[in-house]
Amino acid sequence: MVLLSPSICGIRKLLAICEGYAEQHGLKYNPKKSELLVFTGKNKSPTCVPPVQLSGTLLQRVTEFKYLGHIVTENLKDDKDMERERRALAVRAGQYADSKAYCQTFYTSSLWASCTRRAAHALLVQYNNAFRALLRLPYYCSASGMFADAHTDDYFAIMRKKVASIIRRVRVSTNSILKLFAERLDGPTMGRFIKLHVQNVTGSISLW
């Protein structure tokens, strides 16, 4: 479970509601397995964060945590989650060299909206190398050529489809919060979708 609030006061109120519900139903939260993450703005970081307690125990503040397999960081950068997927891809490619679909999952990639060029390039290279290994091709062969010959999506095509899929699902959602994001054309998800199409034309990942 994740609680979100724009202030420490709000988080404390939400925790109080959870504690009250748990007490009424004979449940108890485990503070040792609960963490506090404070998102930082661009070039901004709080100098002092008031303590937050759960069941009388001070919650440990962290800079990142994994939620449903996706790594969330305090600066909202996706580099670490992309590195997680790069490592997972390397393992899958080695163990399942005969399974093309298994190497194209890119778990939670539709959520990536902010990353460095280095992180994006590392994952791109890993995917290209994995596909070369799958087809038993030399490492120096053309990436675009091998995907065209195999009639298979390259890295950028997969990313475009992933982002297009989440945009479509968000737009038809009945959730009011998701609909709010869907209506924002200047949002990070739509911004990434546009950049991915530009990358397809320029053949560059410099826009990440």
Mean pLDDT of the chain: 84
- Whether the pLDDT of residue 159 is over 60: the answer is yes
- How far is 126 from 133, CA to CA, in rounded Å? 10
pLDDT at residue 208, as a whole number? 38
- Whether the pLDDT of residue 39 is over 70: the answer is yes
Question: Model confidence over 74-115: pLDDT tens digits?
Answer: 998 999 999 999 998 888 776 655 555 556 778 888 888 888
pLDDT at residue 199, as a whole number? 56
- What are the structural domain ranges in the chain? 8-62, 76-202
pLDDT at residue 203, as a whole number? 45
Residue 151 neighbours by CB under 8 Å, 6+ apart: none
pLDDT-wise least confident of 41-45, 106-110, 170-174 = 41-45
Question: Taking the model in full, what pTM does it have?
Answer: 0.69
Range 11-23 average pLDDT: 94
Sign (positive/negative) of CA torsion 121, 123, 128, 130? Answer: positive
Range 18-31 average pLDDT: 92
Tell me whether strands 57-58 and 53-54 are parallel, antiparallel or unpaired. antiparallel
* Nearest CA-CA partner of 72 in 63, 64, 84: 64
Is the distance from CB of 181 to CB of 187 less than 8 angstroms?
yes
Is the distance from CB of 190 to CB of 184 less than 8 angstroms?
yes
